[in-house]
Amino acid sequence: MKKAAIIYASVHHGNTKKVVTAMAQDMPVTLFKVEQAQNIDFSEYDCIGFASGIYAGRFHKSIYAFLKQHRTELPKYAFAVCTSGVGKGRYAKKFAGYLQANGFTVLGEFECKGFDTFGPFKLFGGLGKGHPDDKELADGVAFIQKIMLTSI
């Protein structure tokens, strides 16, 4: 089985942290908040995941900044994980395209709903209340299990 690292940004409600924590629970996966990943030696990892909530249709800007600064030091096998108020908005697939364009081999994408009270959503109680739920967390665990068993 591979060893993976997940670099994540989970800013407002902890949705993304909840998902990646479930993914890492019984797997050889190490989690790094993006701001704590600056000086980590990733050479011991076989693959790397990037996880984020969605902000104005994109992964958090800190993830892009990290990649711009460190992409040559990272494993070349990667995957994308995200949460958003709308759920399956193809954001993970879009970010996977960004990874691929930057020289990574993408192993997969996972996306689920997360509670979102950004901007006007706050006025009516937010989107995705109660998410990620137990089923979405279980789906995330199944996703990482598949990634970890994929031969590279």
- Predicted confidence (pLDDT) at residue 123 exceeds the cutoff of 70: no
Instruction: Place 125 in a pLDDT band, splitting at 50, 70 and 90.
Output: low
What pLDDT sits at residue 7?
A: 98
Distance CA 63, CA 134 (A): 26
Question: Can you tell me the distance from the alpha carbon of 151 to that of 143, in angstroms, rounded to the nearest whole number?
Answer: 14
Does residue 6 surpass a pLDDT of 90?
Answer: yes
Of 87, 76, 45, 62, the C-alpha closest to 9 is 62
CA atoms within 13 A on the CB side of 29: 27
pTM reported for the whole predicted model? 0.91
* pLDDT greater than 70 at residue 135: yes
- The angle that helices 15-24 and 134-149 make with each other, rounded to 10 degrees, is 50
| pLDDT single digits (tens) 18-50 | 999 999 998 999 999 999 998 999 999 999 999
Residue tagged 């949460």 (tokens)? 83
